[in-house]
């Protein structure tokens, strides 16, 4: 049996700070993205249905009034429909005040479910799927070994939202390096316009020690965009977006400047802010500047 909390740190999206975190899996079943250090040294394990039942019962005794639950770790949506259905049914039965259950997801894990299955999961309180698009550029996704195509992720995101689920999408500024910065912006904007995610988070890629990307940076085969280049990317991306109702955030510690707004309402303001910053010529044009240790 897996311990109650066995990864340290236990990863969850910032928006899940107030949620009860139930770790039904350990690690990521894929675990090969070159930029990702989250579960690098963690052997993937799944709790059995019986273990999950016991875990839910124990947590329900401790916090019976829980309204929000995040199911960790890396790609809980990958589990077969029947298992997700069983888990969500158990949660609904044990937590009478439960309003929403959120998970990390991948495009292929969503694509493996039918429209009817996605709707059935929504009825059982599945609410937000955190999906890492990273880039809309297929070549970049291939280079970083994402194991997913943009086309699959866009279609999966659209289907999930049609089924009533909410997509919280993550993109990684700088993921194409200097070499593909233009392609990254153009294809990512196009993907976002087609998917219309309700929530969008733009983070800057951080080469985390121990990852392949970090080794590529050290070897000189991946040239990171400069601090100014990262700001230019987010400015050009915002200028190309045609979103109808999206909350946009780029306020993670990796970002050069914190940005937040509703799109399209705040789009012109955000672009103007970034234009002023670029015009001031204070940004580092030679290096990425200071970065956090973790993505």
Q: Which residues bind ligand SF4 (CB under 6 A)?
A: 28, 30-33, 36, 38-39, 74, 106, 132
Shortest Cβ 145–ligand SF4 spacing (Å): 8
Residue 74 has which token pair?
Answer: 């890396």
Q: Which is nearer to ligand SF4, 36 or 76 (CB)?
A: 36
Of 109, 112, 175, 168, nearest to 142 by C-alpha is 175
Does residue 24 sit in helix, strand or coil? Answer: coil
Q: Which is nearer to ligand SF4, 30 or 248 (CB)?
A: 30
Q: Which is nearer to ligand SF4, 39 or 248 (CB)?
A: 39
From residue 188, alpha-carbon distances to 8, 42, 127, 161, 193 in Å are 32, 30, 24, 19, 9
Q: Please give the Cα distance from 122 to 105 (Å, whole number).
A: 14
Shortest Cβ 15–ligand SF4 spacing (Å): 17
Burial class (CB in 10 A: 0-12, 13-18, 19+), 293: exposed
From residue 191, alpha-carbon distances to 132, 188, 196 in Å are 12, 5, 8
Q: Which is nearer to ligand SF4, 37 or 288 (CB)?
A: 37
Q: Which is nearer to ligand SF4, 27 or 288 (CB)?
A: 27
Chain centroid to CA 60:
27
């Amino acid at each position: 049996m897996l311990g109650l909390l066995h990864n340290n740190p236990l990863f969850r999206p910032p928006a899940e700070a107030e949620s009860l975190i139930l770790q039904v899996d350990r690690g990521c079943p894929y675990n090969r993205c070159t930029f990702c250090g989250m579960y690098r040294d963690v052997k993937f394990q799944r709790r059995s249905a019986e273990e999950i039942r016991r875990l839910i019962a124990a947590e329900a005794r401790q916090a019976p009034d829980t309204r929000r639950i995040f199911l960790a770790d890396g790609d809980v949506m990958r589990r077969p429909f029947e298992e997700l259905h069983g888990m969500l049914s158990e949660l609904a039965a044990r937590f009478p005040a439960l309003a929403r259950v959120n998970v990390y997801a991948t495009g292929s894990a969503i694509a493996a479910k039918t429209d009817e299955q996605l709707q059935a999961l929504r009825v059982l309180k599945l609410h937000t799927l955190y999906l890492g698009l990273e880039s809309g550029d297929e070549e970049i996704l291939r280079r970083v070994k994402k194991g997913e195509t943009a086309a699959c992720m866009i279609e999966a995101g659209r289907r999930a939202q049609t089924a009533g689920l909410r997509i919280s999408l993550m993109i990684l500024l700088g993921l194409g390096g200097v070499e593909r910065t233009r392609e990254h912006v153009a294809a990512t904007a196009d993907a976002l316009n087609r998917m219309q995610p309700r929530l969008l988070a733009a983070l800057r890629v951080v080469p985390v020690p121990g990852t392949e990307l970090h080794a590529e940076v050290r070897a000189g085969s991946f040239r990171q965009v400069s601090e100014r280049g990262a700001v230019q990317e987010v400015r050009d991306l915002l200028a190309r977006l045609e979103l109808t109702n999206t909350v946009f955030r780029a306020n993670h510690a990796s970002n050069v400047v914190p940005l937040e707004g509703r799109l399209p309402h705040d789009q012109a303001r955000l672009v103007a802010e970034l234009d002023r910053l670029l015009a001031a010529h204070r940004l580092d044009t030679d290096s990425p500047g200071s970065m956090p240790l973790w993505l």
